[in-house]
Structure 1
Amino acid sequence: MSGSLGPQQLARRTSAALDAAVGAGRELGLEVAEATVLHDFFSVVVHLAPAPVVVRVPTVLAHGLDLDGLARRQRAELDVVRWLAGRGTPVIPPSPLVPVEPVRRDGFSMTFWQFVEEDRSKEPDYEANAESVAALHAAMRGYPGELGFLSAAEPSFVSESFALLDGRPDLVDAADLERARREWEVLEPLVRSRAAFEDRFPGVELQPVHGDSPPANIFHGVDGNLYSDFELVTLGPVEWDLAALGPACEAAYDRGARRHGLRPLNQEVMAFVNAVGMLRVVAVLSFVPQLPALLEYVKPAIEQWRATPFAGGLSR
């Protein structure tokens, strides 16, 4: 893990992603005159105006994830979202103006989505969002495609990140890293093995889930709210989608679950996914050299994690 990227390097990365999105869009026949960067963090998100198309260009990838692996993940996302859109679920759909598949250009793999105008007057209501996620889960239950078990946990990324963080006290305290490794010894087998998970949590049903905190990924469109960013779509317990959001959001989800005939959240599984989620936060520190601004976002969560029970209170 090398030193942090400076402002000029970050700007060049954004510019390269923007150029790749514009070039790919034009090659696909889209009219692009005033491309605008809407978002730039783990991905550069570009509106190819005047075409009603948004391109998402991932620029910071999990360690060990190459473009082929990224494209497989993107295909799963596109397929799930297209399936949901076809059944009337309120999602931001893939663009109908280009083939529904990842596009590779200039060292990037990108996806094309329908442009939706944002209602910027709305503030996120995470409890209302969490309640609405039950409707998304009810819709996703019938998805017929194959998804990997808890692939959203990215266990290889977590393990490799801990190795990369070794000897980096500028990013993580040695004591914190040692605790994270010991917790991961307890939790990793349940993440990597569906059989181990089902043995530890008998009777907890698995189903397709969003994978990346859907209450935080609801887009406020001018015509209504839309579920978005299914990049980590996975097979798992519904609890995964409520990780780290707290008791109020969990209670809100349970209200929605009752309305849609779904089971309430299992508190033992919540402890598990919360603990795994916190270890992913520690692992994300390995991205700081590529995303220096990330450190300030992560620090409060690390402090919160120090006060939690070891491995969420789960034993071997």
Structure 2
Amino acid sequence: MSTRLSDRGLRARAVAAAVAVARVHGVRCTDPVVLADRYNVRVHLRPAPVVARVATTTALVRPDPLASLQRELAVAGFLAGRGAPVVPPSDELPPGPYRYDGLAVSFWRFVARGPDRTPRPDQARRLLAELHTALRDYPGALPYLAPWEELGRVLDALERTADPGARDPAPLREAYQRLTPVLRTPRGPVRALHGDAHPGNLCVTAGGVLWNDFEETCAGPLTWDLACLRRTSRLDGRAALEAYGHAPDDAELEPYVQARRLQSVAWSLLLARRLPRHAEHAAAQLQCWREWA
């Protein structure tokens, strides 16, 4: 693992990078607040209505973090222009992406979340269906199931950084190799997807519910996004799918649900390598996956 990306000062560097780039473009920030520090550092550049996203853990396995941010901005900008319910790129400054101090940075409009952070199953179903409709005409090129291909690099990183006390990633690699031929054979038409369409990426605001976090946007069959919704623990995923209309049954979804479980565990383990405070949660996820597998 890169020492530069795993050092303890990364969070401070991410905040400094966000503030510095914003300042160049005339956005004044006197009170930056870190909203999240896990796979990326997200910073509210108060008092400006701007949130910076700085790639951190994700940059460990992305050969070109700027390209990933560019795809995310392009898709979210397209959807916002169509009036789709999404958190849009910032209009306070060019949203990027930028590189500063070796870090990739993008800028987004700040939206205040409401007290109820979990949408109802019927809301999740409706919003996902509307999102897929809006994405039908997306004109840009998107990589096929990029989150799955990226998982191979996550496993590479886990294997490279293994130490005597680390969990053996070999069973995860075996599952990845078993599922890869299935996922590389599309079930149904290939189209633009959110890529990480679980309810945690829905922002419940006073003005409505908005999709967020398109960094895993990709092309693929609808079953990928539907599996994201099906396996969520935040709401009744089966109920949400039944209301989607023409949704596949659990047997058809199963390999995609397995893929999402594997993806979640592997990323959690990688996060724990960078931020040891997440090690207990990652170990629990791995144990659940082993019992399920």
- Structure 2 residue 215 is the aligned partner of structure 1 residue 223: no
Whole-Å Cα distance in 1 between the matches of residues 276 and 146 of structure 2?
26
Please state if 1:291 is matched with 2:275.
yes
1:265 aligned onto 2:248:
yes
Residues 138, 219 of structure 1: CA spacing in aligned structure 2 closer, same or farther, 3 A cutoff? Answer: same
Give the structure-2-normalised TM-score.
0.87
Please report the RMSD computed on the Cα atoms of aligned residues, expressed in angstroms. 2.5
1:41 matched to 2:38? yes
Aligned length: 285
Aligned partners of 2:197 and 2:278: how far apart in 1? 18
Cα distance, 1:228 vs structure 2: 0.4
* 1:44–1:56 contact (8 Å) kept in structure 2: yes
Match of 1:276 among 259, 264, 289: 259
> RCO greater where, 1 or 2, for CA within 8 Å and sep 6 or more?
1
SS in 2 for 1:293: helix
Query: In the superposition, relative to structure 1, how do residues 297 and 268 fare at CA in structure 2: closer, same or farther (>3 Å)?
Result: same
The one of 241, 244, 259 equivalent to 1:253 is 241
1:314 corresponds in structure 2 to none
- Deviation, 1:149, is 0.5
Cα pair 2:191 2:221 within 8 Å, conserved: yes
User: Where does structure 1 lack aligned partners over 5 or more consecutive residues?
Assistant: 310-316
1:1-316 residue pairs with structure 2 within 5 A? 1=1, 9-10=7-8, 12-66=9-63, 69-119=64-114, 121-125=115-119, 127-131=121-125, 132-153=127-148, 154-161=150-157, 163-164=159-160, 168=163, 170-172=165-167, 174=168, 177-191=169-183, 193=184, 197-198=185-186, 201=187, 204-241=188-225, 242-243=227-228, 244-245=231-232, 248-255=236-243, 257-258=244-245, 263-284=246-267, 285-309=269-293
Percent identity reads 31
The one-letter amino acid of 1:291's match is L
* CA pair 283-33 structure 1, distance change in 2 beyond 3 A: same
Task: Tell me how far apart the structure 2 counterparts of residues 47 and 162 of structure 1 sit (CA, whole Å).
Answer: 31
Structure 2: how far apart are the matches of 1:83 and 1:140?
9
Do the aligned partners of 2:119 and 2:202 also contact (CA within 8 Å) in 1? no
Counterpart AA for 1:307: E
Q: CA deviation at 1:75?
A: 0.8
- In structure 2, runs of 5+ residues without a counterpart are none
- C-alpha change, 1:273 and 1:123, in structure 2 (3 Å) is same
Paired with 1:116 and 1:70, the residues of 2 have a C-alpha distance of 24
Runs of 4+ in 1 over 6 A off after TM superposition: none
Q: What are the superposed Cα offsets for residues 273-313 of structure 1, whole Å, 9 maximum, x if unpaired?
A: 1222222234221332212122233333323322335xxxx
Q: Deviations over 1:257-285 (max 9, x none)?
A: 22xxxx31253442111222222234221
Task: State the TM-score, normalizing by the size of structure 1.
Answer: 0.81
Please give the alpha-carbon distance, in whole angstroms, between the structure 1 residues aligned to 2:51 and 2:197: 21
Residues 64-93 of structure 1 show CA distances to partners (whole Å, capped at 9, x for unaligned) of: 424xx1111111111111110111111110
